[in-house]
Amino acid sequence: MRILVVEDEPRIQEYLKKGLEMKAWTVDVASDGEAGLDLALTENYNVIILDWMLPKLAGDQVCQQLRAANVFTPILILTAKNEVTDRIHGLDCGADDYLAKPFDFSELLARVRALTRRPAQLITNKLVVGGVSLDPATFEVKRADKIINLSKTEFVLLEFLMRHVGQVLSKDQIAQQVWSYESDILPNTAQVYIGYLRKKIDLAFPNLSPIIKTVRGFGYQFGVTNLAEESK
């Protein structure tokens, strides 16, 4: 799952980023409203955590412009403003939920999970492709009923591939979705992690059809060539 945090207070920004990444989520951050709006308009996120009082462009204006641009990513507003009229204004601007500062991190996580349970997102549903299953809620991955132990990055990569079954994904597309913008990654990082995943998902199951394919000159594709084999 990929989350955008728009927060100008460095301490809170870092607190949110570290906490969310510990949940195996990919987190991008922006320190002002204009930067946050630009990311939200150009990238795909599962949830946006948005501060209200931001430099350059306030959070309510970010909400309004996103909804006007037909971007309906769930938005959770964080703010020290806690009057009823403020909450109403934030929701009327297009936000989906509202959390007053100071807040408990466990409550924030619960609200994020609630936002991603919406039918349009299908984030918390177990993913099953061929003989591979992935549960975002428990972080359990199996193939042919055998549990596969993955690192956090491998799990995020597999989830991204499984949410784009059959699509040919370039190394750049994978890097943008699996690693946050400030991550110091090499040009072949995505290729290296595809290799790690292949060892655990494909090479560990020599009697089953490979599920991660290389499309030469274009990128990678997730899917099975023979579904009958996977059901044996």
**SS3 category, 47:** strand
How far apart, in Å, do the first and last CA atoms of the chain sit? 31
Q: Alpha carbon of 231 to those of 68, 125, 145, 210, 211: distances in Å?
A: 46, 21, 11, 14, 13
Within a 13 Å sphere around the CA of 135, how many CA atoms are in the beta-carbon half? 10
Quick check: 65 pLDDT over 50? yes
Structure confidence at residue 90 as a pLDDT band (50, 70, 90): low
Residue 70 has pLDDT above 60, yes or no: yes
d(CA 137, CA 126): 8
Question: Which amino acid, residue 97?
Answer: D
Lowest mean pLDDT among 81-85, 136-140, 185-189, 196-200: 81-85
Element (H, E) at 219: strand 219-222
Cβ atoms within 10 Å, residue 186: 9
**CA pair distance 55, 86, nearest whole angstrom:** 18
Residues of the chain with CATH 1.10.10.10: 127-230
pLDDT tier at 82 (50, 70, 90 boundaries)? low
pLDDT tens column, 168-187: 999 888 887 787 655 667 87
> Which residues in the chain are classed under CATH 3.40.50.2300?
2-116
Q: Would you list the DSSP string of 125-163?
A: SPEEETTEEEETTTTEEEETTEE----HHHHHHHHHHHT
Euclidean distance between CA atoms 91 and 36, whole angstroms: 18
| Residue 68 and residue 45 in contact, taking contact as beta carbons nearer than 8 Å | no
* Structure tokens that stand for 163 in this block: 């949410």
Find out if CATH 3.40.50.2300 is the number for domain 2-116: yes
Q: Does domain 127-230 have CATH number 1.10.10.10?
A: yes
Residue 169 and residue 219: Cα distance in Å, rounded? 5
Q: CA–CA separation, 132 vs 173, rounded Å?
A: 22
